[in-house]
Chains A and B, each alone.
Chain A
Amino acid sequence: MIFRQMSDVSILEVFLIPYYNRQLTKNQRVVNILQEGCVVMSFITLDEVTKHYRMGEVIVKAADGVSFQIEKGELAVVLGPSGAGKTTVLNMLGGMDTCDGGHIVVDSMDISSLNAKQLTVFRRKDIGFVFQFYNLIPNLTALENVELASQICENPLDSAEILAEVGLHDRTDNFPSQLSGGEQQRVAIARALAKNPKLLLCDEPTGALDDDTGKVVLSLLQKTSHEKGMTVIIITHNQAITPMADRVIHIRNGKVDDILVNKAPVPIAQIEW
C-alpha cells in the first residue's frame, strides 16, 4: 500500500524528507519509511523496534528488532509463545511503553518519538484496549465503565448503543461482579470501541475465558473489524484462532518469525479448537 499522501508530494520531496526531519520538531515530524527502494507506508509500521529490560545483571531483549506492517481495517493476530515479547510489542504499540530503538508509526505518526504526555493523548484518542483480565472498574456499572472511556474523547460513540452492539443492552446497569467473564470482556470491548479509536489492541482477550465465551468475544472483534473497518490487533498464544485473522504475525524470541497474510479469513464460528 502506497503512503496515502504520496499523491500529494513529489518524489523530490520524498527524498528530501529525511533532511527535513532533522529540522522539524518531533511533533511535526513527517514519517518516512523507505522500504525496498520504494516509499511504502502502511497504517501501522514497526521498524526494527527493540526493547530491553534489565533484570538484575541480565539484559532481557523483549523486542529485538521487530518489524512488521499492518494495514488499516485489518484484523491482525500476533502469535507467539509466552515470553516471546508479543505483549511488549503491544504495550509499545499502544503507547503504554516506549521502545529503546527503531520506529513505531501508527497512522503516519511516529509514536516512538512521543513524550509521556503525547503518548497519553495518543492512547486517549487513537487506541482502544482490551485486556486479558478485562480491567473493568469494579465499582462502576457496565454502562459507567463504558462512559468512563467515552467521556474523555472528542467524538465518542454512544455508550448505551455500543453496549447494545456488543449484546449487553440488558446488562447496562450491572456491576462487573454481576457479569460473566465473557460479558465483562464484552463490556471491556465496548469501552474500547466507545472511544472510536483508530486501533483496537487486545491482549489475550480470551485468556481468561472458556472456549465458547472466547469465541463470542473473538467474533465480536472480527465483526468489529470487518463491519466497521476497525484495525484490530489481537495478541494470543492460541494458534487455533489464526484462520480468523487477515494477517498473522509470528513472534519468537523478540523477533518476527513469520508474517502471513490471509486473503480469506474464516468466520470464527467455523473455527474449531
Chain B
Amino acid sequence: MTKNAFWKDSLRQVRATLNRFLAILVITALGVAFFAGLRASGPDMRATASAYYDELNFMDVRLLSTIGFDENDVDAVRNTQGVLGVMPAYSYDAIVELSSENLTIRLDSLSEEPNTENDINAPNVVEGRMPESSGECLVDPHFITLSGYQIGDTVNLVSGTATLISDTLKTDAFQIVGIAESPLYISNERGSSDIGSGKMDAYVMVPAGDFTLPVYTEIYVTIENEAGRSRFEDTFTDLLEPIETALKDVGELRASVRYAEIQDEATQELDDAKAELNDGWAEYNQSKADFDTQIADAQQQLDDGYVQYNQGLAEYAAGLSALEAAKTDTEAQFSQAEDQLAQGQTEYESGLGAYNDGKVVYDALVDALAAGNTPEAIATISGLISEMQDDGADLAMVLSAYVDNPDDATSIAAAQGAVAEFGNVLEQSKQQLDEVAGTLDEKSVELEQARLDAQSQLDESQDQLDESSSQLNDLKETLDKNREELEQSRIEGQDGLAEAKERLEEAAQEIADGEEQLAELEMPEWYILDHDTNIGFASYKEDAERIDTLSVVFPLLFFLVAILVSMTSMTRLVESDRPHIGTLKALGYSNGKIASRYLLYALAASSLGSGIGLIVGFNLFPRVIFNAYSVLYNLPPIMADFNLKFAVISTVAAVSCATLPAWFICVRALRGTSAEMMRPAAPNSGKRILLERITPLWKMLNFSQKVAMRNLFRYKKRFFMTIFGVAGCTALMFAGFGLRDGITTIEPKQYENIQRYDLQIDFEGDAPAEEKQSLDEEITSSAGILSETELFQESVDFLSDGQLKSTTLIVPEVISEFSDFIHLQNRETQETLVLSDDSVIITERLSVLFDLQVGDTFVLRDGDGQEATVQVGGIAEYYLYHYIYMSPSLYRSSFGKEPVANQMLCLLRDPADDNSALATSLLEQSCVTSVTLTANVRASFENIVNSLHYVVWVLIISAAMLVFVVLFSLTTINLEERGRELATIKVLGFYDWELAAYIYRENSLLTIIGTVLGLLLGIVLQRYIITTMETDVLMFSRDLLWQSYVYSAGLTIFFAAVVNLVMFRHISKIDMVSSLKSIE
C-alpha cells in the first residue's frame, strides 16, 4: 500500500460508511447551527439595531429640565467634554380628533441643522419628503394606520390641556409631507403622555421653527465614540457614564444660573407689571370719571330736551283747547246769528202772512166795494171785518160803519178811503216786508261768509297744531332714542369699566400669584436620561437579552446531545475497524498515521457539518427570531453577521468531540499488537442484572422481556447514551412547548380568570357632579353594560429595601363586588383573596421582585409625595404589570384622604361582540378620559405573545429534528454493534418481525425511559427558562398544559417509531452469511 493507497483507502472508507459519515455531518451541522445560530441571534439583533441607530444618529443622552433650556444651556452642554452632537429640541403632546377616536400624539421638533452631527434622532423618511416650510410635518407610519390620513392631508391639532395650542405652536394645522420612522420610537409602544388617555398613539415631526416656546423642552446629546462601540455594549456605558456625570455637573451649574436669572427676570417683570397695573388703575379711574361726566352731560341734554318737549306739548294742548274754544264760540255766534236770522225770517214770514191776509181782505174789500153795497158784499165785508184783527180796527170801524150804512155816502167814502188807506198800509207793509226779506237774505249770505271765514281760520289753527304735534312726536322719538342710547352706552361703559376693573384685579391677582410663585420658585433640576430610558431601546435590549438567556441553556443541551451522538458514532466507527487498524499496523504504518486516518474522517465529517451548520445557523435562526420580533419593532432587515466567537466555539467543540474520541480509541487500540487486534474482541461478558435478584418480579417477565431487560441494563453505555439523547431532545421539545404554555396560558388566565371586566372607563375624579351624573346615566341606560363598579386608582411608588418601583394603587369603592371584576386569588393555594382593612394585596411579580411575603411591610408613596407604610396581606396571581390593592378605609387611614373614584370597570352583555360603538359613545362624555375594551388589550397582547411563539416553534422544530437524528444514529449504531447477534438470531429462524421486535422492545423501553426522564428534565428546563425570561412587568404562567406532555412525548415516540420503521428494512436485510462467517 503506497501513500496514495492509504488515502484512497481512507476515502473509500468514507464512501463505504457514507451513512455514518452523513450522520456525523448532519448531527454536527444541527448542533452547530442551533448553538451558533441561536447564540448569534441576540448579538445580531443588537448589531442590526445598533447600525440603525448609528445611521439615524440616535441620541445617547436626553436632557430634560424643570424649566426648559435656553441657548446658554445649550452652549454649556455643547462645551462639555466628550459631547459630540447637541440638538436642542421641542416636544409637545396634543390631540388629533378623528371621527372614531382621539389620537394622542407627540410633536417632536426636527433638527435645525440637518445632516450634521447635531441632527440627532434623524427621521428615516419612508415616503414623501422632509418638511421644507412652516406648517409641514412628517408623521409616524402608525399615525397613517390609525388615522387613515395620506400624504397631503392636514393634521389639525387640539390642545389636550387648558392652555392654548398657540402658546406653543405657530399653527395648529400641519400638512403631511412625508412618513418617517424615528429612532426614538423603534418599539410599537409609543410611550405615555400626560394628556388624553395617557397612552401615546403616534408621533409627528415638525420644523423646530414652528414652535413658539421661549425655551427648548429638551436637549439630545450624542457622545464621542470613535471606536464605534455599540450602544448595547457595556463598554459604551463606560464611555457614557463620565459624560453623564459631567452633564449632571453642567446641569447643576446652569440650574443655579438660570434660577438667579429667572428670579431677577421675574422680579423685574413683576415690578413692571405692578407699574403697569398702577397705570391701569389710574387710567381706569380717569376713564370712569370721564365716562361719568359724559353720561351726566348727556343726561342733562336729554332732560332739557324732555322739558322742551313737555313745554311744546303743553303749548300744543293749550292751542288745541283754544281752538276748541274758538270753535265753540264761533259756533255759538253763528247759531245766535242763525237764530236771529231765523227769527227775522219768521217775523218776515208772519208779516208776509199778515200782508197776504190783509191783501186778501183788501182785494175782497176792493171787490166788495166795487160791487157796491150788495148784501153779499156787505157779508163779505162783515166776514172780512171779523177776520180783521189789530190793524183793521180803524178800518173795521169804518167798514162796520159802512156796513151799518152801506149807502151812506160818507160811510162809503169813508169806507173807500179807509180801504184805500188800508191798501196803502198794506202796500207799505209789503214794502217793509220786502225790505226785511232783502235784509234777511243779505244777512244770511253774510253769515255764510262769516262761517266760511271762521272755518278756514279754525282749520288753519288746526293745521298749525297738528304740525306742532308731529314735531313734538319727533322730538319725543329722538329723545327716547337718545335716552336708550344713553342707557346703552351707560351699561356698556359700566360693563367696560367693570371688565377693565376685573382685568386689573386679575392682573393684581396674577402679580400676587407671581410673587407667590417667585417666593416658592424651586431650584431648577436637570434630568439626564440615557437611552435606557427610551422605551424602544430598553425593550428591544431586553428582548435581545431574553433571546440571549434562551440561547444559553437550550442550545447547550442541544449541542451536548449532538456531540454526544457524534462521539458515539465515531467511537463505534473506530471500534468496528479494529481488524483494519491491526492490519495497517501489521503492515508497518505508524500509530500516528493510522490514527490520522480516523482523525481525518472525523475531522472531515465534523468540520463539513460545522461549516454547513454555521452557514445555516447564522442565517436561519437570527432571521426567524428577528422576524418574530419585527411585529413589535420597526427596524431594517436583520444583519445576520458571521459571529466569529460562536463560530469558533461551536466548531472547535463539535470537531473535537468527533475527533478526540477517535483519537483516544485509536490510541488505546494501537497499544495492543496487531495480532490481538485482528483477533475478535473477547465477547462481552454476560452478567446478571439487579432486576434478576428480585426474583418474583423477574419471574413475571416472559422470556423476551427478560432478554430485553438484560440487554438494556447490560449495555450501560448504549443505555445511558440513548436515554440521555432521547431525554435531552424530549426535554428540549418539552421546554419549547412548556415555554409556549407559559406564554399562551397567560392570556386566558389574565383576561378571563383575573381581569374579568370587559370595559374600563377612566374619568376625571374631580369632574363636576353633573358630568359624573351624566356618565352614570349613560352607564345605567346602556343596554350593553351588565354591571359596573367604581374604584380609585393612582400611580404610586413602591419602596422596599431601598428599591423603588412605580406601580398602580387600586382602591375599590365596594369591596364585595370588586371580585366580580378583578378576581384576586393566590396562585398556589387557589384561595380567593379579599381586601381587609389592615393590609393590602400585592401582585405576584411585585412580591417576587421585592422578595415580599405575607406579613412583610413596605412603603407606598403617592403622587403628592405622601408616604404610608402598609403590610402585605395577600399575594395575588397577576401576570401583567404590578398592582397594589387597598381597602378604602385603609386608604383613608393611611393617606388621610378620601379615595375619589376615577375609574369604572364594567361587565358587558356581549363581550365577544364588537363594542367599539359603545366605547365611542362613552368617550363622548366630557368627564371620560379614556375607554379601554379588554378585548382590544387582549388582542394587542396576543400580538406580543405571537412573536414569542415563533421563537418557541423554532425551538420545538429544532428539537424534533434533533430527536430524529439522534434516534436514527443511535439505532443504526445499535444495529451495527449487534449485527452478529442479530444475524445469529436470524439464522435461528426468527421471522423479520420477531427480530425487529427483539430490537424494538429494547428501543421502545429506552425511548420511554428517555421520554419520561426528558419530561422531568424538561420541567426543570422550562421552569428555568421561564423564570429567566420574565421581565419586570410580565410574569409567565407556571402552568404546563397536558398537551405539552403529550406533544413532546408523542413526538419523541413518533420519531422513534419512524426511525424504527426505517430500520426495519435494515433488519430484514441483515446478511447472515457475512455476519457469521468472520469474526468482528
The chain A residues found within 8 Å of chain B, CB to CB, are 87, 91, 94, 96-97, 116-117, 120-125, 127, 129, 131, 133, 135-141, 144, 147-149, 151-153, 175-178, 191, 195, 203
Does B987 count as interface, using CB distance less than 8 angstroms? yes
Whether the pair A96, B706 counts as a contact (CB closer than 8 A) is: no
Given contacts A87-B1077, A96-B1072, A148-B707, contact A141 B686 (CB under 8 A): yes
Whether the pair B989, A124 counts as a contact (CB closer than 8 A) is: yes
Residues of chain A lying within 8 A (CB to CB) of residue B912: none
Whether the pair A139, B714 counts as a contact (CB closer than 8 A) is: yes
Closest residue on chain A to residue B988 by CB atoms: A149
Distance in angstroms between the alpha carbons of A124 and B995 in the assembled complex: 13
Distance in angstroms between the alpha carbons of A124 and B991 in the assembled complex: 8
Does B994 count as interface, using CB distance less than 8 angstroms? yes
Whether the pair B989, A138 counts as a contact (CB closer than 8 A) is: no
Whether the pair A129, B686 counts as a contact (CB closer than 8 A) is: no
Closest residue on chain A to residue B980 by CB atoms: A135
CB distance from A156 to the nearest CB of B (A): 12
Distance in angstroms between the alpha carbons of A127 and B990 in the assembled complex: 12
Whether the pair B988, A152 counts as a contact (CB closer than 8 A) is: yes
Does B1042 count as interface, using CB distance less than 8 angstroms? no
Residues of chain A lying within 8 A (CB to CB) of residue B994: 152
Given contacts A135-B980, A139-B710, A140-B710, contact A129 B988 (CB under 8 A): yes
Contact of B992 among A120, A125, A177, A203 (CB under 8 A): A120
Distance in angstroms between the alpha carbons of A125 and B988 in the assembled complex: 9
Told that A144-B703, A176-B686, A177-B685 touch, could you supply 17 new A-B pairs with CB distance under 8 A? Answer: A87-B1077, A96-B1072, A97-B1072, A121-B989, A135-B1076, A137-B707, A137-B985, A138-B684, A139-B707, A149-B988, A151-B704, A152-B989, A152-B990, A152-B994, A175-B687, A178-B685, A195-B989
CB distance from A218 to the nearest CB of B (A): 20
State the majority secondary structure of interface residues on B: helix
Distance in angstroms between the alpha carbons of A87 and B983 in the assembled complex: 16
Whether the pair B980, A139 counts as a contact (CB closer than 8 A) is: no
Given contacts A87-B1077, A140-B707, A151-B703, contact A123 B687 (CB under 8 A): no
Residues of chain B lying within 8 A (CB to CB) of residue A138: 683-686, 981
A-B contact pairs, 6 of them (CB 8 A): A94-B987, A117-B991, A123-B988, A175-B686, A176-B686, A177-B685
Whether the pair B1079, A133 counts as a contact (CB closer than 8 A) is: yes
What sequence of 0s and 1s flags, for each residue 764-787 of chain B, a beta carbon within 8 Å of any chain A beta carbon?
A: 000000000000000000000000
Residues of chain B lying within 8 A (CB to CB) of residue A139: 684, 686, 707, 710-711, 714
Contact of B990 among A91, A124, A129, A176 (CB under 8 A): A124
Question: Which one of B683, B703, B983, B994 has the highest number of Cβ atoms from chain A below 10 Å of its Cβ?
Answer: B683
Given contacts A135-B984, A139-B710, A148-B985, contact A97 B1073 (CB under 8 A): yes
CB distance from A172 to the nearest CB of B (A): 13
Does B637 count as interface, using CB distance less than 8 angstroms? no
- Interface size classification for chain B: 20 to 34
CB distance from B247 to the nearest CB of A (A): 77
Given contacts A137-B981, A137-B984, A139-B710, contact A120 B686 (CB under 8 A): no
Does B694 count as interface, using CB distance less than 8 angstroms? no
What sequence of 0s and 1s flags, for each residue 273-303 of chain B, a beta carbon within 8 Å of any chain A beta carbon?
A: 0000000000000000000000000000000
Given contacts A96-B1072, A135-B1076, A175-B687, contact A120 B991 (CB under 8 A): yes
Residues of chain B lying within 8 A (CB to CB) of residue A135: 980, 983-984, 987, 1076
Closest residue on chain A to residue B702 by CB atoms: A151
Closest residue on chain B to residue A141 by CB atoms: B686
Residues of chain B lying within 8 A (CB to CB) of residue A91: 1072-1073
Does B1 count as interface, using CB distance less than 8 angstroms? no
Tally the A-B contacts, defined by beta carbons under 8 Å. Answer: 94
Distance in angstroms between the alpha carbons of A144 and B684 in the assembled complex: 16
Residues of chain B lying within 8 A (CB to CB) of residue A124: 988-991
Distance in angstroms between the alpha carbons of A116 and B986 in the assembled complex: 11
Given contacts A96-B1072, A138-B683, A140-B710, contact A125 B989 (CB under 8 A): yes
Residues of chain B lying within 8 A (CB to CB) of residue A97: 1072-1073
Closest residue on chain B to residue A192 by CB atoms: B988
Q: Which of B1045-1080 contact A (CB under 8 A)?
A: 1068, 1072-1073, 1076-1077, 1079
Closest 3 CB pairs of A and B: A124-B989, A175-B686, A177-B685
Distance in angstroms between the alpha carbons of A141 and B706 in the assembled complex: 11
Residues of chain A lying within 8 A (CB to CB) of residue B704: 151
Does B700 count as interface, using CB distance less than 8 angstroms? no
Does B682 count as interface, using CB distance less than 8 angstroms? yes
What sequence of 0s and 1s flags, for each residue 989-1002 of chain B, a beta carbon within 8 Å of any chain A beta carbon?
A: 11110100000000
Distance in angstroms between the alpha carbons of A139 and B714 in the assembled complex: 8
Distance in angstroms between the alpha carbons of A199 and B474 in the assembled complex: 157
Q: Which of B516-568 contact A (CB under 8 A)?
A: none
CB distance from B32 to the nearest CB of A (A): 37
CB distance from B129 to the nearest CB of A (A): 77
Distance in angstroms between the alpha carbons of A175 and B981 in the assembled complex: 15
Closest residue on chain A to residue B685 by CB atoms: A177
Question: Which one of B683, B686, B714, B990 has the highest number of Cβ atoms from chain A below 10 Å of its Cβ?
Answer: B686
Distance in angstroms between the alpha carbons of A125 and B1072 in the assembled complex: 17
CB distance from A82 to the nearest CB of B (A): 12
Does B353 count as interface, using CB distance less than 8 angstroms? no
Residues of chain A lying within 8 A (CB to CB) of residue B686: 138-141, 175-178
Distance in angstroms between the alpha carbons of A94 and B991 in the assembled complex: 15
Distance in angstroms between the alpha carbons of A177 and B714 in the assembled complex: 14
Question: Which one of A131, A133, A137 has the highest number of Cβ atoms from chain B below 10 Å of its Cβ?
Answer: A137
CB distance from A91 to the nearest CB of B (A): 5
CB distance from A240 to the nearest CB of B (A): 23
Whether the pair A123, B989 counts as a contact (CB closer than 8 A) is: yes
Contact of B683 among A121, A131, A176, A195 (CB under 8 A): A176
Distance in angstroms between the alpha carbons of A141 and B710 in the assembled complex: 11
Distance in angstroms between the alpha carbons of A176 and B1072 in the assembled complex: 21
Whether the pair A127, B683 counts as a contact (CB closer than 8 A) is: no
Given contacts A139-B711, A140-B710, A177-B682, contact A148 B988 (CB under 8 A): yes
Distance in angstroms between the alpha carbons of A139 and B988 in the assembled complex: 16
Distance in angstroms between the alpha carbons of A129 and B1072 in the assembled complex: 12
Distance in angstroms between the alpha carbons of A160 and B984 in the assembled complex: 21
Residues of chain A lying within 8 A (CB to CB) of residue B711: 139
Closest residue on chain A to residue B1069 by CB atoms: A116
Distance in angstroms between the alpha carbons of A121 and B707 in the assembled complex: 23
Residues of chain B lying within 8 A (CB to CB) of residue A133: 680, 1076, 1079
Distance in angstroms between the alpha carbons of A217 and B980 in the assembled complex: 23
Distance in angstroms between the alpha carbons of A152 and B685 in the assembled complex: 25
Whether the pair B683, A96 counts as a contact (CB closer than 8 A) is: no
Closest residue on chain B to residue A173 by CB atoms: B688
Residues of chain A lying within 8 A (CB to CB) of residue B986: 120
Closest residue on chain B to residue A126 by CB atoms: B989
CB distance from A72 to the nearest CB of B (A): 21
Distance in angstroms between the alpha carbons of A87 and B984 in the assembled complex: 16
Whether the pair A144, B991 counts as a contact (CB closer than 8 A) is: no
Closest residue on chain A to residue B710 by CB atoms: A139
Q: Which of B673-707 contact A (CB under 8 A)?
A: 680, 682-687, 703-704, 706-707
Distance in angstroms between the alpha carbons of A133 and B683 in the assembled complex: 11
Question: Which one of B985, B988, B1077 has the highest number of Cβ atoms from chain A below 10 Å of its Cβ?
Answer: B988
Distance in angstroms between the alpha carbons of A245 and B680 in the assembled complex: 31
Residues of chain B lying within 8 A (CB to CB) of residue A137: 707, 981, 984-985
What sequence of 0s and 1s flags, for each residue 326-366 of chain B, a beta carbon within 8 Å of any chain A beta carbon?
A: 00000000000000000000000000000000000000000
Question: Which one of B710, B981, B984, B989 has the highest number of Cβ atoms from chain A below 10 Å of its Cβ?
Answer: B989
CB distance from B707 to the nearest CB of A (A): 6
Residues of chain B lying within 8 A (CB to CB) of residue A191: 988
Distance in angstroms between the alpha carbons of A197 and B680 in the assembled complex: 30
Residues of chain B lying within 8 A (CB to CB) of residue A120: 986, 989-992
Residues of chain A lying within 8 A (CB to CB) of residue B989: 120-125, 127, 149, 152-153, 195
Residues of chain B lying within 8 A (CB to CB) of residue A127: 989
CB distance from A194 to the nearest CB of B (A): 10
Closest residue on chain A to residue B713 by CB atoms: A139
CB distance from A56 to the nearest CB of B (A): 13
Distance in angstroms between the alpha carbons of A141 and B985 in the assembled complex: 15
